[in-house]
Structure 1
Amino acid sequence: MLNSTQSGISKTVIWSMSIISGLVVANNYYNQPLLGLIAKDFSVSESAAGKISVLTQLGYAFGLLLIVPLGDKFLRKKLILIDLVLVFAALLWMTFATELWMLYAASLLIGTTSVIPQLFVPIAAELSSEKDKAANIGLVVSGLLLGILLSRFVGGIVGELWGWRSMFGIAAGLMLLVWVFVYKMLPELQPNFKGTYLELMNSVLQLAKTQPVLQLASFRGAMAFGSMCALFTTLVFHMERPPFEVGASVVGSFGLAGAVGALAAAKVGSLQNKMSINRIILYALLILIGSWGFTYFAGNTYWGLIIGVILIDLGVQSSHIMNQTNYFLLKTNAVNRLNTVYMVSYFIGGSLGTFFASLAWQYAQWEGVCLVGITMGLLALIAHIIFSRKVSLKSKII
Structure 2
Amino acid sequence: MPPNALWIACLPAYGSSTPEPAGPWLARYGPQPVLHEDGWLLELSASQRLFGGRAALLRRLRHEGAALGWGRLGAAPTALAALAVARATPAAGGFGHALGPDWSARLDALPASHLGPARPHRPVLDALGLRTLGDLRRCPRAGLARRTAPGLLQALDALYGQAPLALPGWQAPERFHQTLALPAPSAETAALAFAGQRLLGQLTAWLQQRQAGVLHWRLGWQGRPAATALDFRHRRPTRDTRLLRSQLHDALARTRLDAAVDGLWLETVHVVPWSPASATLLPDRPADDALSWEALLERLSARLGPARVQTVQRAAHWDPARRQRWRAALQAPLETEGRRGSDHAAAAPALALAAMATLWEPPWWLPQPRRLDTGPDGHPRLKGQRLRRVLGPQRIATGWWDTPVAWEMGVATSADGRCWWLHRHAQPGPTSPGEWRLAGVYA
* Bigger Rg, which one: 2
**Which structure's residues are more often strand, by fraction?**
2
Say yes or no: TM over 0.5: no
Instruction: State the TM-score, normalizing by the size of structure 1.
Output: 0.23
